[in-house]
Amino acid sequence: METQIYNQKGKGVGKLTLPESIFGLPWNGDLVHQVVTAMQANARTPVAHTKDRSEVRGGGRKPWKQKGTGRARHGSSRSPIWVGGGVAHGPRNEKSYEQKINKKMKAKALYTVLSEKFRKGQIIFLEELNLKNIKTKDAVAVISDLSSIKGFEKMVGGKKPNVYVSVPAKGDTVKKSFANIKTVEVDEVRNMNPVDLLAFRYIIISQPTESIAFLGGKIEKK
């Protein structure tokens, strides 16, 4: 599998051979769904919390005697059917939504998403992302130049997240230059995961030789 490598101006500068094990896998929706759902669950922080009848105040004594009043019998005003009483089966912040994800499953899901993105022509392999100064203007110029590549015209514009940029190491110059562009996210290749890739339409992989070598090591060979 061969693909084109581009520079920051959107010009082709060479060819790159891609490993089939990362960019040539068939789509596996069940695997991707399982891994993405588990990752989202693991990132979830329970916030909503209700008190049960043992935690609310008051209700230490029986509201009225058991018989003779003509009213229904009650043992405590902490009962869930009372206003101000405890909540039955309400959300609790100690609940854990964590799901176990096998390491190889997670890596395989990542490769599957990369393969699908590559098949759809939504990945740009960038020779190097190098900005001399911290300027949003320069970062915008890079995205604009890359949008001149056929099939990537819609990289610019819009209000939703649109471009995910993967770099081997995120320096302050690149990080701060892209910080004000709301449709672009820059992150290190070590943090690349299926959830992020599926949230963006286009993927830019900077220094692909180094990045692909790192991605290939996510599944240890026995």
pLDDT value of residue 161:
86
Q: Which two tokens stand for residue 70?
A: 């003509």
In whole angstroms, give the CA distance from residue 81 to residue 210.
63
Taking only the tens of pLDDT, the chain with its 222 residues reads 899 999 999 999 999 999 999 999 999 999 999 999 999 999 998 999 999 999 999 888 899 999 999 999 999 999 999 999 999 999 999 989 999 999 999 999 999 999 999 999 999 999 999 899 999 999 999 999 999 999 899 888 878 889 999 999 878 899 999 999 999 999 999 999 999 999 999 999 999 999 999 998 876 543
pLDDT value of residue 158:
78
- How many beta carbons lie within 10 A of that of residue 197, not counting itself? 21
pLDDT value of residue 203:
96
pLDDT value of residue 222:
39
**Cα within 13 Å of Cα(87), Cβ side:** 8
Cβ atoms of residues 150 and 189 within 8 Å? no
In whole angstroms, give the CA distance from residue 118 to residue 165.
15
Nearest to residue 198, comparing CAs of 131, 125, 109, 133?
Answer: 109
SS (H, E, C) 81-125: CCCCCCCCCCCCCCCCCCCCCCHHHHHHHHHHHHHHHHHCCCEEE
pLDDT value of residue 220:
57
Q: What is the pLDDT of residues 15-70, one digit of tens each?
A: 999 999 999 999 999 999 999 999 999 999 899 999 999 999 988 889 999 999 99
Q: Which two tokens stand for residue 30?
A: 């069940």
Distances (CA, A) of 52 to 48, 81, 91: 13, 12, 10
Task: List the domain boundaries for the chain.
Answer: 2-44+99-216, 48-96
In whole angstroms, give the CA distance from residue 37 to residue 198.
12
In whole angstroms, give the CA distance from residue 127 to residue 125.
7
pLDDT value of residue 218:
74
Q: What is the mean pLDDT of the chain?
A: 92
Is 2-44+99-216 a CATH 3.90.180.10 domain? no
